[in-house]
Amino acid sequence: MASGANYTKYAAPSPATFMGAEWDGKVRADYDTYTFASEAIGTLVNVGVLKVGEVFLGAILTNAALGSGTTLQLGDAGDDDRYIVATATSSAGSITACAQTGIGYKATAETPLVVKTAGGTATGQFSIVIFKGCPN
């Protein structure tokens, strides 16, 4: 039977393969909401943080119709769309993360998570739930 990479580390533990959040850690969620009032393209909104050793597992973002041509994305200082790539928000809807590079991303420093606007002036509310794996 085949085993996943992290299961293999679990089955044969050593100090070099200690995983913390990736295997048998705790799942935590951050929830936030923000209301745009004619916000310009490029507006940044802090919505969460990955602490050292935490792993990004996913996110759900719901939005009102924010305006013609608007998009939202979720990223951090190292990659502004690491978790959710720019997604149309001109109609009310829901976006489920992840961009391929973001799922399983492990923070090596405190990493603020930021929603960024693009495409048009945004007016209306969004809510986000960010799921992360935390060491025990």
| Domain parsing of the chain, residue ranges | 29-134
pLDDT above 90: percentage of residues in the chain: 73
Q: Is the pLDDT of residue 14 over 80?
A: no
Cα–Cα nearest to 20, from 106, 101, 98: 106
The model's pTM: 0.85
**What is 29-134's CATH number?**
2.60.120
Q: Per residue in 61-80, is it b (16+ CB within 10 Å) or e — as a string?
A: bbbbebbeebbbbbbbeeeb
Tokens for 65, please give them: 């119709």
Q: Is the pLDDT of residue 93 over 80?
A: yes
Tokens for 59, please give them: 């996110």
Half-sphere exposure of residue 45: CA atoms within 13 angstroms, side-chain side: 22
In angstroms, rounded to a whole number, what is the distance separating the alpha carbons of residues 67 and 87? 13
